[in-house]
Structure 1
């Protein structure tokens, strides 16, 4: 009995000890998009702040390609020891909904740590558009026999699915015109190629403030702090509509809970920094941490949501 008690005590002590000694070397922080983009900047801003308390650097590495899935695959294959960390984005769930041959399971292959930031998209038109509000645009879409054209950053992006969900919930027909990235779709609406686009604030905010574009709506559940004067889609006749992308940390499945908790604690601490919060705001987002369980629920819910939207829109799986 004494031996069993001692063994049990030692076993329970292992997670606590691990949490105290971790990390003992630099952490590899992967993100799946180009260097200098939003995902890269988020990882560096938050990772730099976390490193102050962790005592080890988070070395951000860009594994760009395949819509972020290259970095996800690398993380899923890594040892679950806490030294490979993924900055997952909303595209993680979108890829799971649209791609049938991913080398990992969108949910089961990962251990969520915490969300970092949420950011909505904006529905924008040219400044000289006759549409002054989202109801104007929706009315035009309902009366367009062949569908109302609109642009996004590409087929199968969150922007694209946001438009498909809008069409479904608002009862109108939209004709999607995919471009190669937000810069091209923004150029298209400025040039009159399409009457409106759905894009992140980072792509269009400068043009809205310069008077070249008009923001009709925010796609999130509440108004964006960067443009509080712009009402949400839900506030303009489409109740329940809520599309936000997000970013957050994930580890490979099987990571020790003491490590998960340590990284969650340091993420929360980093997001209390006014400088970090302001940098995230400048990138169009709002800082928001979560528990690992809350992030797991978010990923699972987003996967279900976008799978259904893609099915309803007739978007085939790749």
Structure 2
């Protein structure tokens, strides 16, 4: 009887152990892959590599960064949304994630519900920039010219449906001024167009224009953030120049597939937050125009949901063709 009882107890223990979820065992035990949807060497790629390298030190496994470019980042997002929710496949999403949700008619995923948010990583504004010899000395002066001549002012962006483009459309509606959008294929092309006099202004991230600003070839009129940008504290915001309530701040953050267990999410979030406290990481993000800022998964979910609603309204109001 004792032997039978011992065997039964052992069998029960074996059953209990066999039902312990895989994620409760040592995680991570192999490399973690971060997908990002833009060109290698660009902002998203650099952010993923800077933060991923530091998270490697905390979690003890390499973070492998992989670019899946095209369709505004939606290819990479699709890969992650369809991946196993085991913590080994992540997405470095940017503000374009919410823009794509507003702009694309048919995506293979739901912008919010098909992802488990982990933490934001950085926030950064756009800059409204003119040539150094431009007659416009302030954004309010440029907007005044646009109101006086509906066809006299245009702006360049990185392309139709880019966050830059929608930031311009939001400016047009908020300021009640007619400004023609001229799309280019990427930031480099829009900067070249501005320098060549094809357009009087562009909206671009700091990394795309700071070299020419420092060289005296371009001049910033405003930052699109809610507060002044710490790297150029003398530069007023759009709202400070008469466009009340205007704010466009892009962001980058980590996401996993929906259903990723909370203990794994918390491990990843903890490693990300620790990375953001490292002076070199913060300095690298600041050099790119960003502010290192983490969040809870719930805060990030709320932020992305709000961004999706805002850009959906702008796309519909501006009659921007859905992709």
TM-score (norm. length: structure 2)? 0.92
Residue 167 (structure 2) pairs with residue 162 (structure 1): yes
* SS of residue paired to 2:150: coil
Instruction: Give the alignment partner of residue 290 of structure 2, picking from 251, 267, 285.
Output: 285
* SS of residue paired to 1:104: coil
Q: 1:24 corresponds to which residue?
A: 29
| CA contact 1:138–1:172 (8 Å) conserved in 2 | yes
Q: CA deviation at 1:110?
A: 0.4
User: CA offsets, 1:114-167, max 9 Å, x none?
Assistant: 000011000011111111111111101111133521110100000000000001
Q: 2:319 corresponds to which residue?
A: 314
Unaligned runs of 5+ in 1: 1-5
User: CA offsets, 1:19-59, max 9 Å, x none?
Assistant: 67211111011111111111111001000001101011111
* SS of residue paired to 1:300: helix
Structure 2 CA distance for aligned equivalents of residues 248 and 233 of structure 1: 25
Residue 195 (structure 2) pairs with residue 178 (structure 1): no
| RMSD, aligned CA | 1.9
Instruction: Give the alignment partner of residue 80 of structure 2, picking from 64, 71, 75.
Output: 75
Single out whichever of 133-142 and 146-155 deviates more from structure 2: 146-155
Taking structure 1 as reference, are residues 19 and 116 closer, same or farther at Cα in structure 2, changes over 3 Å only? farther
Q: 1:3 corresponds to which residue?
A: none
* SS of residue paired to 1:21: coil
| CA contact 2:195–2:217 (8 Å) conserved in 1 | yes
Q: CA deviation at 1:312?
A: 0.8
* SS of residue paired to 1:29: strand
Structure 1 CA distance for aligned equivalents of residues 188 and 34 of structure 2: 27
Instruction: Give the alignment partner of residue 87 of structure 1, picking from 89, 92, 100.
Output: 92
Residue 191 (structure 2) pairs with residue 189 (structure 1): no
Q: 2:66 corresponds to which residue?
A: 61
| CA contact 2:94–2:251 (8 Å) conserved in 1 | yes
Structure 1 CA distance for aligned equivalents of residues 233 and 25 of structure 2: 43
Single out whichever of 45-54 and 58-67 deviates more from structure 2: 58-67
Segments of 4+ moved more than 3 angstroms: 17-20
Q: 2:9 corresponds to which residue?
A: none
Q: CA deviation at 1:215?
A: 0.3
The total of aligned residue pairs comes to: 310
User: CA offsets, 1:217-264, max 9 Å, x none?
Assistant: 000111112211111101111121110111000000000000111111
Residue 268 (structure 2) pairs with residue 263 (structure 1): yes
Q: CA deviation at 1:211?
A: 0.9
Taking structure 1 as reference, are residues 176 and 55 closer, same or farther at Cα in structure 2, changes over 3 Å only? same
Q: CA deviation at 1:18?
A: 4.2
Structure 1 CA distance for aligned equivalents of residues 170 and 111 of structure 2: 21
Q: 1:242 corresponds to which residue?
A: 247
Residue 235 (structure 2) pairs with residue 230 (structure 1): yes
| CA contact 2:150–2:179 (8 Å) conserved in 1 | no
Structure 1 CA distance for aligned equivalents of residues 143 and 20 of structure 2: 59
TM-score (norm. length: structure 1)? 0.94
Structure 1 CA distance for aligned equivalents of residues 139 and 193 of structure 2: 20
Structure 1 CA distance for aligned equivalents of residues 170 and 201 of structure 2: 16
Q: 1:305 corresponds to which residue?
A: 310
Structure 2 CA distance for aligned equivalents of residues 242 and 145 of structure 1: 23
| CA contact 1:19–1:262 (8 Å) conserved in 2 | no
Instruction: Give the alignment partner of residue 107 of structure 1, picking from 104, 107, 112.
Output: 112
Taking structure 1 as reference, are residues 79 and 213 closer, same or farther at Cα in structure 2, changes over 3 Å only? same
Unaligned runs of 5+ in 2: 1-11
Q: 2:219 corresponds to which residue?
A: 214
| CA contact 1:125–1:196 (8 Å) conserved in 2 | yes
Q: 2:6 corresponds to which residue?
A: none
